[in-house]
Amino acid sequence: CLQQLYNIGGYVPQAPQKNGIGITGYLEQFANNADLKSFYLDQRPEAVNSTYKFISVKGGLNNQTLEDAGIEANLDTQFAFGLSYPTPGTFWSTPGNPPFKPDVNVPVDSNEPYADWVDYVLSHGKIPQTISTSYGDFEQTVPQSYARRTCAGFAQLGARGISLLFGSGDGGVGDGNPDPKTQTCFTNDGRNATRFPPFFPASCPYVTAVGGTTNVPEVAASLSGGGFSNYFPRPWYQEAAVGKWLKNFPEHTYKGLFNRNGRAFPDVAAQATRFRVFWAGQATPVDGTSASTPTFAAIVALLNDARLAKGKSTLGFLNPLLYTKGLEGFNDITQGNNPGCGTPGFNATKGWNP
């Protein structure tokens, strides 16, 4: 279905020995090999005997009991590796939690130690050219110094020719709740003000943030995270597309709820609903940008394969291309919206929109 929708079903990778795709794992999410085999038997039989490389970062585990199978890790590996087969796959397991600032929605630290992973990967020579991460946190729960340090590490990876894909979040413009009486989008700076909370690392300007669509023809999925960073200013490559959207968006609408000068996200979107994932031995339906992100990453890996087969470089940091020549390769999503924070969220319109 995804292969047909995105016109990749007939493509056979030509240079897998030169290419690679990676998946990051956090929060004790373990990619289960038995579930992966079940997925391959169901969806990609020719890949059933294939393997991937497991890498432990700072003592990350690789538990393989079915009861320890992680639905997030399974979703990521099954679709990224399945769609890009036989491109070699890598899975990193990184334990622990980073510095943290609690808010109403996340009172206990459940954030991911991205800097630990970045430091590890930057210290190693050979890195998969496409890396997908389905995790993310409300930007305000990440100390700004930690976010900036991590984002700078992502920039270094981009400079080394690595494409980094991150999910834009599953709460629309915030908490996914359109009811103003029960919404929970409050700042954690002592003011308790209502604001659309951006999502990090999607808000880092050196990664490609992936939103979600649904149905065919595609419309915006209501869960698709979108908004504007409070930490990072709008990068140069977004000036034309986002500037045009801001010009057409009434300034009084949602005034004070988002930072009109911030890095805007997502950058792209892909199917995010009704994914059939094998988890703990059972086929399980899953929705979210956790599904669209490895899907988009797999397509990037296939594009890299086509380039490598012709002796060209990989795509590397995608965003400057996506907002210029790359526009020709995309469908414009013009229907749907992403409610949250007691609002209907933003409407999908012609051109870029959050």
User: Catalytic site residues?
Assistant: 72, 76, 290
**Beta bridge mates, 69:** 30
CA–CA distances in Å: residue 283 to residues 34, 36, 263, 294: 12, 11, 38, 18
Exposure of 287 in the CB half-sphere (CA atoms within 13 A): 13
Cβ atoms of residues 8 and 302 within 8 Å: yes
Residue 324 CB: number of other CB atoms within 10 A?
12
SS3 state of residue 119? helix
CB environment 226-246: b (16+ within 10 A), e (fewer): bbbbbbbebbebbeebbeebe
Handedness of CA 190, 195, 200, 203 (dihedral sign): negative
β pairing state of 21-25 and 130-133: parallel
Residue 104 CB: number of other CB atoms within 10 A?
14
End-to-end Cα separation, the chain, in angstroms: 26
| Residues, the chain | 354
Residue in this structure with the two tokens 């999410």, named with its chain if needed: 29
Distance between CA 188 and CA 143 in Å, rounded?
A: 11
Q: Give Cβ neighbours of residue 255 (< 8 Å, ≥ 6 apart).
A: none
SS3 state of residue 305? helix
**Is the backbone of residue 144 left (phi > 0), alpha (psi -120 to 50) or beta?**
alpha
Distance between CA 202 and CA 210 in Å, rounded?
A: 8
Distance between CA 286 and CA 277 in Å, rounded?
A: 7
